[in-house]
Amino acid sequence: MLIDPLVEFFESVSPETVSRIADLYAVDARFKDPFNDVNGVPAIEHIFRHMFTQVEAPRFVVSERIVQGDSAMLVWTFEFGVRVGKTVRPQLVNGVTHFQFNCEGKVSLHRDYWDTGEELYMKLPVLGWLLRALKRRLAA
């Protein structure tokens, strides 16, 4: 298992390079994030292709990597834009990915952890206001 090619893939992924997932992931790999839970390279490729249709200029910036045995963790920031009318509003989502590797060194598990409340829902106009008010009320 080599983490450098995986980091390079995530930091440079584009619609043209999504198919490289087949080189890095096991055929039956599992991908799980707050919105998806799929198995297999075609389903994982679909999630990444879908990302490029939903947001503007998506980009991952890896700030930390931890490797131990057949597992690795990447700390990242997902930078992207959300189109609102004719303007694109920049967004940042901070998260961590846990990878497990099979005996061939390919990804068998890709599990993303990020806080949908703080990183997504709190930024929405009406829902965000309600969640921020609730958070203030519950804070010590």
> What pLDDT digit, counting tens, does each position of 4-48 carry?
999 999 999 999 999 999 999 999 999 999 999 999 999 999 999
Mean pLDDT computed over 43-58: 97
Element (H, E) at 27: strand 25-32
Instruction: Give the total residue count for the chain.
Output: 140
Is 115's pLDDT higher than 60?
yes
HSE-CB of 100 using CA atoms within 13 angstroms: 9
Comparing CA positions, the residue from 44, 7, 2 lying closest to residue 22 is: 44
Protein fold of 3-114: Nuclear Transport Factor 2; Chain: A, (3.10.450)
User: Residues 7, 61: contact at Cβ < 8 Å?
Assistant: no
- Mean pLDDT for the stretch of residues 41-61: 97
| Model pTM score | 0.84
